Chains A and B, each alone.
Chain A
């Protein structure tokens, strides 16, 4: 499997693989034939994002005057396609007064950060480090 991955993915393919993994969590592992891992990542991260939205979390704007808000926006964006779908549907407006607001943001932000780790993992897998 490792040797196959190295043979199949050249440098251009690596960029495409990383982009695909960013856009659809777990897709890179599916691409490399690691179906169980890919499906677990896809389901877990999508569920975390959906729970975050259902609990009235906020998709933070890119506010350069507020460094923490800006970093949270990058973490939200790191989830890829689900972020764009939510943004297009005007979800994730956030309800600060909701008792679940802070937890919801933790779900949204951590889902994005975990997806960054998954992108790194799929890169390592593709170049044969794992």
Chain B
């Protein structure tokens, strides 16, 4: 697998999973917190990627 986007999804999934289980005790809270962390990773990576698009380096 060489797609950077898919690798980003995979990386974000694992990190969000570990953070959710670390920070919250109830399954409902874990799912909600994990979804927010996962979404935050994806959205911020895409936004930063587009912001850097015009850079020449």
Residues of A at the B interface (CB closer than 8 Å) are 36-37, 40-41, 44-45, 47-48, 51, 55, 99-100, 103, 106-107, 110, 114, 117-118, 121, 130
Contact = CB atoms under 8 A, between A and B. Distances in A.
B21 A41 contact: yes
Contacts of A44: 14, 17-18
B4 interface: yes
A102 B10 CA distance: 14
Interface string B1-37: 1101001001100110110011001000000000000
Closest 6 CB pairs of A and B: A103-B7, A114-B18, A40-B21, A48-B14, A99-B2, A44-B14
Interface of B: 1-2, 4, 7, 10-11, 14-15, 17-18, 21-22, 25
Contacts, number: 36
Contact of B15 (A40, A41, A110): A110
Contact of A110 (B2, B11, B21): B11
Instruction: Name A's interface SS.
Output: helix
A40 B14 CA distance: 10
Given A51-B10, A110-B11, A103 B18 contact: no
Contacts of A106: 11
Given A41-B18, A44-B18, A118-B22, A100 B11 contact: no
A40 B17 CA distance: 8
A36 B25 CA distance: 11
Nearest to A52: B11
Given A99-B2, A100-B2, A107 B11 contact: yes
A117 B23 CA distance: 11
Contacts of A117: 18, 22
